[in-house]
Structure 1
Amino acid sequence: MPHQAPQQASASQPETMAQLLADIRERHAEFTRLRHIPRDIVDRLKQQGVYRASTPVCFGGSGMAPADFLQLVERISQADGSAGWVASFGSAAIYLAALPRATQAILYADSPDLVFAAGVFPVQPATAAAGGWQVNGTWKFASGCKGADVLGVGIGAGAPGQPGAKVRTAVLPPAQVEIVDNWDVMGLSGTGSHDLKVHQQFVPEEWTFLRGGEPAIDEPLFRYPTLAYAAQVLGAVNLGIARAALDEIGQMAGGRVAITGAPRLADRSYVRIEVAKAEARLRSARHFLYETTGETWRAILAGDPVAPEQVAMLRLTAVEVARAGYEVVDSMFTLAGTTAIYTSHPLQRYLRDAAVVKQHAFLGEGVYDGAGAVALGVPPMPGFL
């Protein structure tokens, strides 16, 4: 049965975020079937300010503080992990801030609500041409590409492929990019992280930028560490998924006695203990994220430079919330027993989605090594800071 669109809110009564999240929660099976978040949801996320959060204020952006955006991602992810993941790329304008200012003026001329999706790796060689680059190749993991207004691909810079080398990203209109519909994965199925293919397209130099490069816009958000923020918004997805898992166990706990005659979940001491431990684990990681983010943001607003130690802690927060979220979901799945093994049960979906989040390269074990190196006063891996 096709999805019935909700009744449109009147001009005097715009849709609330709560209404949108309720619809997202109901449509998770559709997202999985389609393997992407449909355009109507992306457009409604735009209306809620998700895709102007990191647009420069001078071009109509909201100037949303990092902690506020992270909470927004967390809230959407609680409704659906794939929707939260796609919404997290509302932060991607921090990359675009490295484009020339005149290019950004063109980019945001029609609206500050711009969806940018990119497939950066594997970095493809591009041929230098008069005034730009001749781009050709295939790239992976372009989350949200089917709902994007502009697309990016990684063509390298300096000595591409060397550790720590910044990647030059070419920005193209969707009409110049083929989306290879091949996103077939165990979790976060609705993110639509398909491959991108470009065949011999010329991209002017002014439509390329260095990923994590110096921004052309001097506003507080663009002084926040770019790659650390990109990792944090992804890690925050697992905070929302984990909260959904805890809520699910809470609803199950007072239910019927098990078919084996075992007592209700709420009446079992080991369940109560594990739920309390999970709550403490999740809240601790969450506090670490928001405390560190807030400290860095206040320093930026005060005009202070961001120290390497702060960047390392920001990177560490992203890994911690991703890992903590997954551990909480795994624990709740285990507590649910055989009930959760059915494909219709929310906990198996939460487990698969949370597992995929922590597999992201930004959230890997190497981050612990980099953060530990900074803490001990030795050089971290290239590209960590």
Structure 2
Amino acid sequence: MNQLQRASIPQSATDLLQKARALDALFRGQSALNESQGRLTADTFSALRESGLLGFLVPECFGGAEASTTEALEIIEAVSYSDGSTGWVLMATQVCTCLAAACLPAAAAQEIFENATPVIAGQGAPNGRAVIAESKDGGKGFRLSGNWSYGSGILHSDYIHSGAIVMENGAPRMRADGSGPEIRTCIVPTSKATMEGNWEVMGLRATGSVNYSIADAFVPADFTHAPEAVQRNRGGNVYAIGIIGMTTLGHTGFIIGIGRRVLDELAIIIGDKPPGRGGSLAPLSATQGYHEGFGHAEARYRSSRAFVFDVWGDLQRCLDRGDAPSTRQITLIRLALNHATSEIAEVSTWAYKMAGGAALRESALQRCFRDVYAGTQHFLVSPAVLQECGRELAGLAKGMAWTLLGLRK
């Protein structure tokens, strides 16, 4: 567990963006060591904590910056540009941390956040069983057990956020509207979990996103919240986007940050390449095909990023008015993430091929390529989500609303 602390003076999102950019050299310099350890180095994590970046989405009442959605995108983008794994850990832990801070009942939120800014990570999929129970002193709660995969950033956490189906009298308790089993997100100290240590992966190697299990841990009712919570107990309207919006926000900042780095690294590699064997071949930097390809790749990247900030800007204006986001606005932010991920993955493939042997060997470009493709495997950018976006945009989902996995009545 990390030593909890809070930045002595709350900082604005603008201040934190400047700090994120100022830490570029440190984050770059730690990248290879991060990967070799399978988690962020102590220097990397200390920089995140001491700078205040681990609180950029935390409500102001708990010392955070409570960044707007567009401000948050820029912060995640900046850190992911420097190092993909660092950006991923930052965005994944901020999603879990900020929702706990905004949505937990007062007693639990005060206990967790009053004197420190913790790191909360985990897996929200309802792979656990939350059996209704009482503590020894009669407090209401749940006995939590289960196994979860892909606990994004969990090796860096103080608390774990885990999804579970509520069990009553040996069977799932149904939601009041009859739409399915009741699900709760349970917040427990990381010490109550067993880490599986199985993070042998192609990309995002330093995120420490291992599988984990919890066996019969008592969770007070106040330390749980609804998984798709948009009903906040504190903080501003940014938390009205809930887990769906926050996860989409985090993954979007990651992909546009690392996508920019891919093209910048390629430009450095090709600019430094000497002519071919015996000078008989022109350097790639002198060929029209490379020039055309780079222009096309740059256009694909920039148009994807512009789409991202267009739809998030519209959503942020909605939040600034105090309104809840519409189904169409959620569709468009999810579509922008899916589109940016697809475009940047293809741009990364082209960049990898253009770099030749330099990309085959250990390098920043190779690491970015692997991290991009690791990101493409997340369910948020799956064909199923793209299909649901198309269904809603085609007018075939009247009266439906978004869940993490798709649209439903």
TM-score normalised by L of structure 1:
0.89
How far is 1:238 from its partner?
2.0
- CA separation in 2, counterparts of 1:137 and 1:254? 52
- 1:52 is aligned to 2:71: no
Of 361, 367, 370, the match for 2:385:
367
Of 245, 261, 270, the match for 1:228:
245
The one-letter code of the counterpart of 1:241 is I
- CA separation in 2, counterparts of 1:165 and 1:375? 29
How far is 1:53 from its partner?
1.7
Query: Which moves more between the two structures, 143-152 or 91-100?
Result: 91-100
- CA separation in 1, counterparts of 2:332 and 2:218? 40
Of 251, 255, 259, the match for 1:242:
259
Judge conservation of contact 2:61–2:235 (CA < 8 Å) in 1: no
Relative distance call for 1:163 and 1:77 in structure 2 (3 A) is farther
- CA separation in 1, counterparts of 2:98 and 2:225? 11
Of 86, 108, 117, the match for 2:113:
108
Alignment-derived partner of residue 311 in structure 1: 330
Q: Which runs of 5+ in 1 are unaligned?
A: 1-13
Query: Which moves more between the two structures, 297-306 or 87-96?
Result: 87-96
1:292-312 alpha-carbon deviations (Å, 9 max, x no partner): 111111111112331111111
- CA separation in 1, counterparts of 2:345 and 2:111? 41
- CA separation in 1, counterparts of 2:388 and 2:331? 7
How far is 1:188 from its partner?
0.6
- 1:330 is aligned to 2:342: no
Off by >6 Å, runs of 4+ in structure 1:
162-166
| Equivalent runs, 1:91-102 vs 2, <5 Å | 91-96=95-100, 97-102=102-107
- CA separation in 1, counterparts of 2:396 and 2:331? 12
The one-letter code of the counterpart of 1:271 is Y
- CA separation in 1, counterparts of 2:72 and 2:291? 32
RMSD of aligned C-alpha atoms?
A: 2.3
Judge conservation of contact 1:98–1:209 (CA < 8 Å) in 2: yes
How far is 1:382 from its partner?
6.6
Alignment-derived partner of residue 216 in structure 1: 233
- CA separation in 1, counterparts of 2:180 and 2:84? 30
- CA separation in 1, counterparts of 2:123 and 2:241? 23
The one-letter code of the counterpart of 1:93 is T
Relative distance call for 1:279 and 1:382 in structure 2 (3 A) is closer
Query: Which moves more between the two structures, 61-70 or 85-94?
Result: 85-94
Relative distance call for 1:17 and 1:372 in structure 2 (3 A) is closer
- CA separation in 1, counterparts of 2:183 and 2:88? 22
How far is 1:151 from its partner?
0.9
Alignment-derived partner of residue 269 in structure 1: 288
How far is 1:368 from its partner?
1.5
Of 125, 135, 159, the match for 2:144:
135
1:248-277 alpha-carbon deviations (Å, 9 max, x no partner): 121122221134742122201111111111
| Equivalent runs, 1:374-385 vs 2, <5 Å | 374-379=392-397, 383=403, 384=406
Aligned residues: 369
Judge conservation of contact 1:235–1:358 (CA < 8 Å) in 2: no
- CA separation in 2, counterparts of 1:165 and 1:278? 45
Relative distance call for 1:163 and 1:275 in structure 2 (3 A) is farther
How far is 1:177 from its partner?
1.6
- CA separation in 1, counterparts of 2:179 and 2:98? 22
1:313-362 alpha-carbon deviations (Å, 9 max, x no partner): 111112122222212211111111233212x1332222111001111011
